[in-house]
Structure 1
Amino acid sequence: MTYHHLSVLVHRQAEKYGDRVALKYRDYDKAQWMPVTWNQFSETVHIAANALVEMGVSEQENIGVFSQNKPECLYADLAAFANRVVTVPLYATSSPSQVQYIVNDAEIRFLFVGEQFQYDAAISVLPLCKSLERLIIFDRAVVKEERDTTSIYFDEFLKMGEARQHQAIVEERSNQANSEDLANILYTSGTTGEPKGVMIHHSCYLEQFRTHDLRLLTMTDKDVSMNFLPMTHIFEKAWCYLCINKGVQICINLRPTDIQMTIKEIRPTLMCSVPRFWEKVYDGVQEVINKSTGIKKSLMMDAIKIGKIYNLDYLRMEKTPPLTLRLKYKFYEKTIFSLLKKTIGIENGNFFPTAGAAISDEINEFIHSVGINLVVGYGLTESTATVSCITLTDYTIGSVGKLIDGLEVKIGKDNEILLRGKTITKGYYEKAEVTATAFTEDGWFRTGDAGYMKDGELYLTERIKDLFKTSNGKYIAPQALETKLVVDRYIDQVAIIANQRKFVSALIVPDYGHVKEYAKEKGIEFASMEELLQNSAIISLFKSRIDTLQQQFANYEQVKKFVLLPEPFSMEKGELTNTLKVKRNVLEGNYKEAIDKLYEE
């Protein structure tokens, strides 16, 4: 099969699909979804590509895109690729110092910005970025600073290319584009040290198109994908390109907090997410079950039990379920499961990829039991997303599936997963020494993740750099314990503390709504959340639930003490990365006093 280079892909798809809808975005003023046809998509990219030439963009130079998810992000990306230009996405939540670092490191001249927050952050560091010449603003509602004489709005930018006066240059550049051109520089969110720019070449995306055709057999141009994760993240970025390649309609969710509303408006067949989304679904169902009584509760619990036998014991193993089981399942499918999916907004679901963090076996089993095709996978920025994912049948709960075609794996020292293949990065931008240490002498990429292969499937055990060693010499894998604890409906966020300590402790951010509800039921009075979380009855509640959840862990791995925090971990305090991963060193600094108290004799 022929896979078109990203420099021309949207135009080839427009020739094929014409006035079919390619994209949708929500117009918040009109409270409706606005369609963009393949022809309109292609034409806008043509015009934007001409505008880039008019601005003086050179082949293989770097331009930045600093925005939340918007159609303009795709227009900028594909217009850049038509000119053999590299795009550097910045997370919409990036601080001015992060923007300054990336702009300077990648020597960006032109930076596309989304809304007021991104504009304000970018304009504040303009004097500190020698290379930065101009901001192009997506949102017309952005108010520019009076001293700003160089920034233009996106509609003004498009006018620069409306006449398509540079079409011959764009076409010449597109014709010269090849798979060895650099496509993106994706900066890691930096849980430790300064961000590194991961270089992703066009060859990486072209290879992922091929491998996903072999793996995702039910994905077609009839699918509708909800774009929920940030396009800055390799998971969503590669997925969007794959959707364009497959002719899938992409519905762009502008505001992550609105997903519960927008998913019901679109009712997609596909959506990439992180496990946290499914943890919330599981939590919601458990809440309904816990509040139910009598026959309603019995029916829901029986439905999940039957669903597990039907989907996991039979269909997963490619066995034919017996007639009685089929009839029972069909009944629950049309009643309880159908209502659940409709409540979430995924009753039209085909499958739902999830990656980015560990998902607990309990939640994984539950989601499959209720008939949702959750495609659990594993990937990194450096591997252009997917390394492995489960298939629709013949997979094991607890694994992250089989490796994609053409990718090699080897288990190295400390059980580190080593990778080699066409989707692996060639290295980090302008960082030869860091690149050299990221690969073995014989060319295998060091993932930093520990794991093992069994019966053709990959299993993850821990993140090597996150491994803690207690003062007693015992090794602790915090993520395994965190994944287990966060399943509990009373726990929203958790960070394990153990490095060079006598025992394991934890910082816990409760689900404040559930804790308040519990206090009301038990008649516990409180003036503030801080006071409530220091109440002995609340502490006892958490202790009993934690003790139950961690039974499978060795005694030295179990949480002995914990602190309940009245405020959640946040990006503003530097405790979370842009991809919501915990910055352990920052947390330990911010909560040093509380942590030290736990270890007082």
Structure 2
Amino acid sequence: MVNQLTSLVRKQAAKYGNREAFSHKDYTKNQWVPTSWNRFSEQVSYMAQAMVLLGIREQENISTYTQNKPEGFIVDFAAFDNRAVVVPLYPTSSLDQIEYIINEAEVRFLFVGGQVQYDNAIVALRECPTLEKLILFDPAIKRTADDTTSVYFDDLLEQGRQAGADVAAEVERRRQAGSPDDLATLIYTSGTTGEPKGVMLAHSNYDEAMRIHLQRLVTCSDSDVSLCFLPLTHVFERAWSYYCLTVGMRIAINVDPKDIQNTICEVRPTIMCSVPRFWEKVYAAVQDKLSKTKGVTRRLAERACGISRRRNIDCLRAGKRPPMWLEWQYRFYDKFVFSKIRRAVGVENGNIFPTAGAPLSDTINEFLHICGINIVYGYGLSETTATVSCFDRTGYEFGTVGSLMPDIQVKLGENNEILVKGKTVMKGYYRKPEETARVFTKDGWFRTGDAGKINDEGALALTERLKDLFKTSNGKYIAPQALETRLGEDKYIDQVAVIGDQRKYVTAIIIPAFEALKEYAAQKHIQYRNLEDLVKNQKIHALISERIDALQKNFARFEQIKRFTLLPRAFSMEKGELTNTLKIRRSVINLLYKEEIEAMYA
């Protein structure tokens, strides 16, 4: 049986021919380079044959260690042709992190994106017993003098092109031998607590994910352009990109994560997956601009928001047609206010913007909908092939993560833990039978580790991450993410780590939004030499304290932050404070800032 992903590229090439499948920016020429479906299919065939020449076996684990690049898609689908399993590594992963995964998955062949990845990979080649060869995507990668085994991707592709009929026949035999139970990917979790775990996702998981998304997302079509922005290592972007290819929509691959603002304005996508962090920054920038308006302009903006709320939230969300008088007013304000906001962000052509991976503030979510930015907020995990629930076209409710996807079952277990059952749920954790047994109930429900509730309309709401939940020494339970999400709305606050496990009261380590803080300091004539000096200033401390008090007033007193420490630099992946998916590693933060934390309880 030929699996859906295995036949996908060939089928779409027959349908679309020389139509663009995806594009990427060539920074050496400063231009976007398209790849047609025919060319994509041809490259997949050549690489599939090259994999046979390399000696890659059916259901063998091969790994990619790269930023988002066209070559990543080619490797994925060539691997599927060979019934091989793709193990993506985050391009930001450290040497220790990649060695752990390479060793556990017994990877022999590692596809490497750029120089930074190569510099780690060449060390791993010497240290990891199973690793045999590196395949280098970027021809500009400079190899070490003693590297005699690595091969450049283009050279390998050419070997595949020249392969004989017997090799092509072997690829076809493997393709036809495919089974829905074949593993497609091992997606390693970010490891916020403990070591990372390899989530085993079969072709049947992806086939089901494609089916239910086609059923739910009825506004998506092959006329859409999706910007591939999140790392393809992340199950959200990976599953979404497979969905885009299934629909036939064009994908614009963002090769350089640091260039995302320019990329959005160049591509003007109709669709883009993102985490809430991206929209938090958009919201902060818009609010900052609105806060500086006065007089007629200010009143115009307030009036515009009121009209748009009545049209987008009260009417369209409820599935009602807006009255003509309201629609005409909205069109006026949309032209002179909201269209300018969308154009500034680069999303004026927007269809939907799927957002998940962390909590998104209701305030920000609602404001974006008022601006005509259709956020499809959802919830899912690597273990569920991404989406469990998401906003529908109508009837979505703020305060929830939307309604369940078709044929996905959810119920609440002990401590209101969200339990999931369905064909998108993983087979288990790779080589971790005890961990696998721990996350499944006896009757086969997957334990998500998230607590939630289901309202009368069937929408799912998240209340806390059970692993993050802590108890103060007074016996009060605190859900830190709720506070962190609320504080993240503020234009002067960039990152927050709430502290308080077995402590008398709640505190926080806070990273200010430094550019906004510098601007405030200039307005108030606050003198400082550097960021260390700035965050220690009493006027700055008073400003942040005032903002925190306003933001947390709706929380119970025992939940509120009593003291906080401002740091002069952001949390980073390099220091281990953030995972590759930008989640806080609380244990690392507690260790690194032990002195600062103890001082808040002195």
Fold in common (TM above 0.5): yes
| Structure-to-structure mapping, 1:164-175, within 5 angstroms | 164-165=163-164, 166-175=167-176
CA contact (8 A) 2:2 2:177 kept: no
CA contact (8 A) 1:274 1:355 kept: yes
CA contact (8 A) 1:506 1:562 kept: yes
1:474 paired residue among 473, 476, 481 = 476
The answer for the alignment partner of 1:485 in structure 2 is 487
Work out the CA distance in 2 between the residues paired with 1:23 and 1:5. 19
Work out the CA distance in 2 between the residues paired with 1:57 and 1:4. 19
Work out the CA distance in 2 between the residues paired with 1:291 and 1:335. 17
Work out the CA distance in 1 between the residues paired with 2:128 and 2:189. 20
Instruction: Using the TM superposition, give the Cα deviation of residue 164 of structure 1 relative to its aligned residue in structure 2, in angstroms.
Output: 4.0
Work out the CA distance in 2 between the residues paired with 1:121 and 1:518. 41
Work out the CA distance in 2 between the residues paired with 1:533 and 1:130. 48
CA contact (8 A) 1:25 1:252 kept: yes
1:412 lines up with 2:413 in the alignment: yes
Misfit runs of 4+, over 6 Å: none
- Structure 2: runs of 5+ lacking an equivalent: none
The answer for the alignment partner of 2:21 in structure 1 is 22
1:43 lines up with 2:45 in the alignment: no
The answer for the alignment partner of 1:243 in structure 2 is 244
Work out the CA distance in 1 between the residues paired with 2:508 and 2:337. 37
DSSP 3-state at the match of 2:231: coil
CA contact (8 A) 2:2 2:179 kept: no
State the TM-score, normalizing by the size of structure 2.
0.98
DSSP 3-state at the match of 1:174: helix
Q: What letter is aligned with 1:208? A: A
The answer for the alignment partner of 2:516 in structure 1 is 514
Instruction: Using the TM superposition, give the Cα deviation of residue 88 of structure 1 relative to its aligned residue in structure 2, in angstroms.
Output: 0.2
CA contact (8 A) 1:3 1:206 kept: no
Instruction: Using the TM superposition, give the Cα deviation of residue 4 of structure 1 relative to its aligned residue in structure 2, in angstroms.
Output: 5.8
Work out the CA distance in 1 between the residues paired with 2:81 and 2:568. 50
The answer for the alignment partner of 1:500 in structure 2 is 502
Work out the CA distance in 2 between the residues paired with 1:258 and 1:309. 36
Instruction: Using the TM superposition, give the Cα deviation of residue 3 of structure 1 relative to its aligned residue in structure 2, in angstroms.
Output: 10
CA contact (8 A) 1:379 1:386 kept: yes
| 1:544-564 Cα shifts (integer Å, max 9, x gaps) | 110000011000000000001
Work out the CA distance in 2 between the residues paired with 1:102 and 1:319. 51
The answer for the alignment partner of 2:296 in structure 1 is 295
Work out the CA distance in 2 between the residues paired with 1:519 and 1:343. 26
The answer for the alignment partner of 1:319 in structure 2 is 320
| 1:368-425 Cα shifts (integer Å, max 9, x gaps) | 0111111000000000000000101111111111111111111000000001110000
Work out the CA distance in 2 between the residues paired with 1:103 and 1:291. 52
1:398 lines up with 2:408 in the alignment: no
Instruction: Using the TM superposition, give the Cα deviation of residue 157 of structure 1 relative to its aligned residue in structure 2, in angstroms.
Output: 1.1
Q: What letter is aligned with 2:365? A: N
DSSP 3-state at the match of 2:261: helix
The answer for the alignment partner of 1:286 in structure 2 is 287
1:196 lines up with 2:167 in the alignment: no
The answer for the alignment partner of 1:532 in structure 2 is 534
CA contact (8 A) 2:190 2:196 kept: yes
The answer for the alignment partner of 1:566 in structure 2 is 568
Q: What letter is aligned with 1:539? A: H
CA contact (8 A) 1:203 1:423 kept: yes
Instruction: Using the TM superposition, give the Cα deviation of residue 323 of structure 1 relative to its aligned residue in structure 2, in angstroms.
Output: 2.4
The answer for the alignment partner of 1:109 in structure 2 is 108
Work out the CA distance in 2 between the residues paired with 1:469 and 1:71. 47
| Structure-to-structure mapping, 1:154-233, within 5 angstroms | 154-165=153-164, 166-233=167-234
Q: What letter is aligned with 1:143? A: K
Instruction: Using the TM superposition, give the Cα deviation of residue 320 of structure 1 relative to its aligned residue in structure 2, in angstroms.
Output: 2.4
Q: What letter is aligned with 2:142? A: V
Instruction: Using the TM superposition, give the Cα deviation of residue 360 of structure 1 relative to its aligned residue in structure 2, in angstroms.
Output: 0.4
CA contact (8 A) 2:3 2:179 kept: no
The answer for the alignment partner of 2:145 in structure 1 is 146
Work out the CA distance in 1 between the residues paired with 2:507 and 2:187. 34
Instruction: Using the TM superposition, give the Cα deviation of residue 324 of structure 1 relative to its aligned residue in structure 2, in angstroms.
Output: 2.1
Work out the CA distance in 1 between the residues paired with 2:61 and 2:516. 47
Range with greater deviation from structure 2 (316-325 or 262-271): 316-325
DSSP 3-state at the match of 1:278: helix
Instruction: Using the TM superposition, give the Cα deviation of residue 298 of structure 1 relative to its aligned residue in structure 2, in angstroms.
Output: 1.5
Q: What letter is aligned with 2:551? A: L
Instruction: Using the TM superposition, give the Cα deviation of residue 492 of structure 1 relative to its aligned residue in structure 2, in angstroms.
Output: 0.4
DSSP 3-state at the match of 1:231: coil
Work out the CA distance in 2 between the residues paired with 1:402 and 1:145. 52
DSSP 3-state at the match of 1:194: coil
Work out the CA distance in 2 between the residues paired with 1:270 and 1:323. 29
| 1:259-318 Cα shifts (integer Å, max 9, x gaps) | 110111111111000011111111111111111111112112221221111111111011
Instruction: Using the TM superposition, give the Cα deviation of residue 487 of structure 1 relative to its aligned residue in structure 2, in angstroms.
Output: 0.4
Q: What letter is aligned with 1:561? A: R
CA contact (8 A) 2:61 2:86 kept: yes
Range with greater deviation from structure 2 (169-178 or 555-564): 169-178
Alignment RMSD, CA only? 1.0
The answer for the alignment partner of 2:93 in structure 1 is 94
Work out the CA distance in 1 between the residues paired with 2:295 and 2:152. 60
CA contact (8 A) 2:499 2:509 kept: yes
CA contact (8 A) 1:373 1:392 kept: no
Q: What letter is aligned with 1:476? A: I
CA contact (8 A) 1:282 1:363 kept: yes
CA contact (8 A) 2:201 2:385 kept: yes
The answer for the alignment partner of 1:446 in structure 2 is 447
Work out the CA distance in 2 between the residues paired with 1:389 and 1:151. 43
TM-aligned CA distance change 1:325 to 1:3, over 3 Å: farther
| 1:36-63 Cα shifts (integer Å, max 9, x gaps) | 0000000000000000001111100000
CA contact (8 A) 2:452 2:461 kept: yes
Instruction: Using the TM superposition, give the Cα deviation of residue 322 of structure 1 relative to its aligned residue in structure 2, in angstroms.
Output: 2.2
CA contact (8 A) 1:533 1:566 kept: yes
Work out the CA distance in 2 between the residues paired with 1:299 and 1:45. 54
DSSP 3-state at the match of 1:161: helix
DSSP 3-state at the match of 1:200: strand
| Structure-to-structure mapping, 1:269-284, within 5 angstroms | 269-284=270-285
The answer for the alignment partner of 2:550 in structure 1 is 548
- Structure 1: runs of 5+ lacking an equivalent: none
Work out the CA distance in 1 between the residues paired with 2:339 and 2:3. 39
Work out the CA distance in 2 between the residues paired with 1:239 and 1:575. 27
* Percentage of identical aligned residues: 55
| 1:471-501 Cα shifts (integer Å, max 9, x gaps) | 0000000000000001000000000001011
Work out the CA distance in 2 between the residues paired with 1:324 and 1:347. 24
1:465 lines up with 2:464 in the alignment: no
1:590 lines up with 2:589 in the alignment: no
Work out the CA distance in 1 between the residues paired with 2:581 and 2:129. 28
Work out the CA distance in 2 between the residues paired with 1:161 and 1:69. 23
Work out the CA distance in 1 between the residues paired with 2:159 and 2:430. 31
Work out the CA distance in 2 between the residues paired with 1:373 and 1:529. 37
